[in-house]
């Protein structure tokens, strides 16, 4: 089974500053025949279900602000929020869908400093 590990567990960033969340998989989630990384990022605000923000490691979901970006390949991935807004306070999860069982990272709680 693939284990997803996020860092840090929590993060406090000033409004307008950059926020960076890392995600590492225990094995590669890059599928050679498609050259795609089977990795997604989700945002979950308090009391709400998760929302997809990034898929294929770097493709922004429709309607997601362009301050959100995903990068990385193989086993190491990053979610970056270029200029933190108050509405970005949430818990962020990465997920691999390369193979079943699918698996999530433990989550990173993002707060305002």
Partner 1 sequence: QVQLVESGGGVVQPGKSLRLSCAASGFTFSNYGMHWVRQAPGKGLEWVACLWYEGSSTYYADSVKGRFTISRDNSKNTLYLQINRLTVEDSAVYYCSRAPGYYCYGSDVWGQGTTVTVSS
Q: Which residues bind partner 1 (CB under 8 A)?
A: 1, 38, 40, 42, 44, 49-52, 55, 61, 91, 93, 95, 97, 100-107
Q: Count the alpha carbons within 13 Å of 21 in the hemisphere toward its beta carbon.
A: 33
The nearest distance, CB 56 to partner 1, in angstroms, is 9
Q: Specify whether the CB–CB gap between 54 and 68 falls below 8 A.
A: yes
The residue among 1 and 76 lying less far from partner 1, judged by its C-beta, is: 1
The residue among 32 and 34 lying less far from partner 1, judged by its C-beta, is: 34
The nearest distance, CB 73 to partner 1, in angstroms, is 17
The residue among 11 and 102 lying less far from partner 1, judged by its C-beta, is: 102
């Amino acid at each position: 089974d693939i284990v997803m590990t996020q860092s840090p567990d929590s993060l406090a960033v000033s409004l307008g500053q950059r926020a960076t969340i890392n995600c590492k998989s225990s094995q590669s989630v890059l599928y050679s025949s498609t050259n795609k990384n089977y990795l997604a990022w989700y945002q979950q605000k308090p009391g709400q279900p998760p929302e997809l923000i990034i898929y294929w490691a770097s493709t922004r979901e429709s309607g997601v602000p362009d301050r959100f970006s995903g990068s990385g390949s193989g086993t190491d991935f990053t979610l970056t929020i270029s200029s933190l807004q108050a509405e970005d306070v949430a818990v962020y999860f990465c997920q691999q869908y390369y193979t079943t069982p699918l698996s999530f990272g433990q989550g990173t709680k993002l707060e305002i400093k």
